[in-house]
Every structure is written in structure tokens, then in C-alpha cells.
Amino acid sequence: MTEEDKEKWVFIVNPISGNLFGKTMVPVIEEKIRKYNLDAEIILTERPGHATELSKAAVKRGIKYIIAVGGDGTLNEVARALIGNKQVVTGIIPAGTGNDFNQIPGFPDRFTDSDWDMFFRKNVIGHDVGIVNDMIFLNGLGIGFDAEVAAQNYTEEGMVRKGGADKYIWHIVKTLLFFREKRMNVKSNDTSHEIDCFMNTVSIGRRFAGSFFLTPEAIANDGLLDVCSIGKLNLFHRFRLLLLVLKGKHIRDKRVHYFKTPAVNLEFPVKVPFHVDGELSFADKFNISIIPGGINIIYNPDGNHFYKRG
């Protein structure tokens, strides 16, 4: 057995991700540990923030491969303890609902045998990390229409409302009909402008909410944030632009301001909802920057990944 064979792995599993799909991954990972002869253990999270605690503990124990099993939020929690640590590698086994992050490293939303083989080849690349108000994001943050939809799916106590896909679609339709844009001040690259914000996305990745390519030109290791600001829209243009977003064609519209930058500051007159890698928060000021290559992540060099090659 070589020294490489002795490298330790920890799989941090969110058992409630993907409507309890995460829990079903435990026996699958146990089988893969045996098949690939890994020195590994599986740990289940028990509460919000627990994945970060487990990730920190794994770093202290000298674990090299600290893998998230869940959705984007689970990976975000795991990665919080790994920023800037060049000795540790992370990755994600997708078990969430949307799995928007997973298309960045070039893996599908659910693994096949060939995907497991590729994953355990341990191809590693540096992945940029976004910072907003001391929070991190690996895919992106959203303000405006999409964040308002997300906010309606939470109770005042911060719990996800029950109701399933039909309820979610109703929230989308209701928000399309009644959402009112708020004035947003944007400062970037020594310039400043104001816009009535229908939707504003700042990202490392490209895809959000399962199928919306809001920042279709984003590269996850170019050291730049992609910003897509959509101005005030009437009802017709709201429906039209959302259809264009499905294919990333909206950025040619005159109502869309799309640019790349290493940092951007946003300010609203009141606190507004925003989501960071799918997790909801509220703020009125957003100081956003980037850490180039902030984490090491397993990716598929043969897949349709969103990294610079070479």
C-alpha cells in the first residue's frame, strides 16, 4: 500500500437533504469505501451548522479529503472550514434537490458507476470563493425576484413551509405578478450607478434554481465575479426574460447589465431578502469580494465543467 492509499477521507452526510435522499446515500457510500479500498468514515449532520463543526474537526485530525454529501448548502457549510487550506480537498456527492453547484465541476445531479470512478480518480482544481458580509458562496447569491420567491417558502421562524412543488410554483407566479422593484446602488471598478432591481445575481457558477442560467459566462476559477443586474420590467417582459434565462440568452437584452469584477458593493434603502448558495438571509448592504482558488475541489476533467483549462 502506497502513502497515497493511506490518505484519509471523511464523508459528511446531510441525511435530510433532498427530502431524505441524503440518508439513502449512506449504504451506497459504505459500498464505495469497500470497493475503492478507502481509509474513510461517514458522519451524519444533526443540525444547521453542524457540517462546519465536523469539517473543522476533520481538518484538525489531518483528514485530506473532506466530502459533502447533500445539496449546495451542505457543501457551503463544509467549505467554510477549508478556505485557503491548500492541504485539504473537498468535493460533493449530490444528494440535494436542486444541486446547482454540481454542474460546475462537471458531474451530474445523480452519480452513475462511471461518475464514482471519475470522482475517486481525485482530479483536483482550485475553485474561487465569493464573500458577502462575512458569508461565503461557492455558486452565487441572488437578490430580488428569486430571493423574494425563496423568502415566501420560509416561515417567520425560519422553517421551510410545507406544500411541495405546487406551492413553490404558486409563489413564483404570485411574485411575478406583484413583485415591486427596489432601488439599488451599485459600486464597482471605481464606478457607481443606480438601478431598480428586478433581479441581481453575483456568482462564481452559472446555474440557479435547477435550470436558470443567470450568469451564463461565469468561469469558476478566473478570479472574477459575474454580475447580472436586471432592471425594472413590466409583466410581459418578466415572463419573456425568465424564458430567456433558461438558455442564458437574456444577457443580450437592453434591460440587463452584465459585467465581471473582482468586487462589488450593493446598497438598498431597506433590508431585502437574499439567498447565498440557496440559504436565505436579509440585509440592506452587500460588500462582495472574491478569493481566487480559495478551495481545492474534485472535478471531472472530461465533463462539461466551468473552469479555465490549462
Walk along the chain (310 residues) and give the pLDDT tens digit of each residue: 344 445 999 999 999 998 899 999 999 999 999 999 999 999 999 999 999 999 999 999 999 999 999 999 999 999 999 999 999 999 999 998 878 999 999 999 999 999 999 999 999 999 999 999 989 999 999 999 989 988 876 544 444 545 544 566 777 888 888 899 999 999 998 889 899 999 999 999 999 877 789 999 999 999 999 999 999 999 999 999 989 998 899 999 999 999 999 999 999 999 999 999 988 999 999 999 999 999 999 999 999 899 987 6
pLDDT at residue 300 in the model: 96
The domain total for the chain is: 2
Query: Which candidate, 42, 45, 106, places its Cα nearest to that of 75?
Result: 45
Strands 225-230 and 256-261 come out as antiparallel
* Residue 286 forms part of a structural domain: yes
Q: Which amino acid is at 133?
A: N
- Any idea of the CA torsion for 295, 141, 166, 94, to the nearest 10 degrees? 0
* Residue 33 forms part of a structural domain: yes
- What distance in Å separates the CA atoms of residue 49 and residue 3, rounded to the nearest whole number? 33
- What distance in Å separates the CA atoms of residue 140 and residue 277, rounded to the nearest whole number? 6
- Report DSSP state, residue 241: H
Q: 280's torsion region: left (phi>0), alpha (psi -120 to 50) or beta?
A: beta
- Same structural domain, 267 and 203: yes
* Residue 261 forms part of a structural domain: yes
- What distance in Å separates the CA atoms of residue 222 and residue 116, rounded to the nearest whole number? 27
- Same structural domain, 150 and 283: yes
Domain boundary among 122, 157, 178: 122
pLDDT at residue 278 in the model: 83
- Same structural domain, 153 and 113: no
- Same structural domain, 70 and 196: no
pLDDT at residue 247 in the model: 87
- Same structural domain, 112 and 151: no
- Same structural domain, 140 and 114: no
Element (H, E) at 113: helix 113-119
- What distance in Å separates the CA atoms of residue 292 and residue 52, rounded to the nearest whole number? 21
Question: Domain range spanning residue 216?
Answer: 135-292
pLDDT at residue 167 in the model: 61
- Same structural domain, 23 and 91: yes
pLDDT at residue 154 in the model: 56
CATH number of the domain to which 16 belongs: 3.40.50.10330
pLDDT at residue 157 in the model: 44
- Any idea of the CA torsion for 295, 92, 279, 208, to the nearest 10 degrees? 100
- Same structural domain, 99 and 195: no
- Same structural domain, 156 and 223: yes
- Same structural domain, 102 and 182: no
* Residue 300 forms part of a structural domain: no
CATH number of the domain to which 270 belongs: 2.60.200.40
- Same structural domain, 104 and 48: yes
* Residue 204 forms part of a structural domain: yes
